[in-house]
Structure 1
Amino acid sequence: MIEPDTKDWTWVLHQRCEDCGFEPDDVIGPELPVLIHEWVPRWESQLGRPDVRRRPRPDVWSPLEYACHVRDVFRIFDERLAMMLVEDDPTFPNWDQDATALSERYDQQAPSAVAEELRDAGADLAAGFAAVRREQWERRGLRSNGSAFTVRTLGRYFAHDVVHHLHDVTH
């Protein structure tokens, strides 16, 4: 059984993640589309692994489950970015990643379909970030717990998630 992740990861916006090496200051908003296009093939290669469905431990997701999560992260952050660009100080709907993993049966999905969906979701989010105008990078949005993001910090938070999970499946 996977224990739900209840940590508040917003600290990664201000300091290096010792687990994966992510440096938030290395992520510059307008570079996000290029980074997304670099990450997608790395995730696709993980989906081609012969052990794609094998969990390294019962309490750790398999590469397939992580890839499904990252695909959904692309989708969720695309929705949140769109909200921030058209609404003033929107509050994001809650997303329970652990409940989604169970209800969507991440462990049973077809790796080839996940690769295609991840590619499409990545392209959509990259296009979303590419369309952000200079004056929009400081627009705000809120999580339901009150954590505030700008478009810039939302991009950094998103980037950490993708990088951290690539580290999870490769180490």
Structure 2
Amino acid sequence: MDIDPDTKDWTWVLERPCPDCGLAAGEVVPTEVSARVLADLPRWEDVLRRAEARVRPAPAMWSPTEYACHVRDVFVMFDQRARMMLTQDDPLFANWDQDETALEDDYASQLPSEVSTQLVAAGRAIAATFDGVLADEWNRTGRRSNGSTFTVGTLAQYFVHDIVHHLHDVRG
């Protein structure tokens, strides 16, 4: 069975706590995001070592491996976006259809051990990017195609919610 596409605009997580995972992303200090990412990488590795890592808990719900593939790709996408914001004036981000990516890249068939290696590398890369942000760069801006505007700081907060939320999804 296919997974229903996620069509929500999750930017509200910057304004109020997520009722599912409990994170108040707007209260996360942006300079602490890289440390949080690095601290969560071993938890993702543990999830991907589970015997049932490729098993969907319900027909219309991603397996832990599929969630990890998504998180890996979120690491890469947000790293690209943060770098754009740090090197360009108010860049417009290309649209990214996460559900289309999951199908095209066949998340369901990927090997947990390979995903783990890729996820850790991508997590370390974005952590390094956020670690390298200078004090006067946190307010640089960028825009999504739907009109949502972010600073580097709010992008970091929005991003960290995705990681925490999906760890909650897989009981990491």
TM, length-normalised to structure 2: 0.97
- Counterpart-to-counterpart distance in 2, 1:19 and 1:102: 25
What do the CA deviations read for 1:14-61 (whole angstroms, capped 9, x no partner)? 100011101124411111111110111111111011111111111110
Deviation track 1:76-103 (CA, whole Å, cap 9, x = no partner) reads: 0000000000111100011110010011
* Aligned counterparts, 1:87-166, within 5 A: 87-166=88-167
Aligned mates of 1:3, 1:92 — CA distance in 2: 24
CA–CA separation in structure 2 for the residues paired with 1:160 and 1:42: 15
1:38-77 residue pairs with structure 2 within 5 A? 38-77=39-78
The code of the aligned residue for 1:99 comes to E
Structure 1 unaligned regions, length at least 5: none
2:85 matches 1:84: yes
How far apart are the structure 2 equivalents of 1:61 and 1:150? 31
**Structure 2 Cα separation of the partners of residues 136 and 78 of structure 1:** 15
SS of residue matched to 1:149: strand
State the one-letter code of the partner of 1:47.
Answer: L
Unaligned runs of 5+ in 2: none
* 1:3 aligned residue: 4
In the TM superposition, what is the alpha-carbon distance from 1:2 to its structure 2 partner?
A: 0.3
**Residues matched between the structures, number:** 171
Instruction: Tell me, in whole angstroms, the C-alpha distance in 2 between the residues paired with 1:120 and 1:56.
Output: 27
What is the RMSD computed on CA atoms of the aligned residues? 0.9
Aligned to 2:34: 33
Asked whether the equivalents of residues 56 and 62 of structure 2 are also in contact (C-alpha less than 8 Å), the reply is yes
* Equivalent position SS for 1:170: coil
Structure 1 stretches of 4+ moved >2 Å: none
Q: In the alignment, is the contact (CA less than 8 A) between 2:65 and 2:108 conserved in 1?
A: yes
Q: Secondary structure at the match of 1:138?
A: coil
The percent of aligned pairs where both chains have the same amino acid is 55
Contact 2:64 2:170 in 1 (8 A): yes
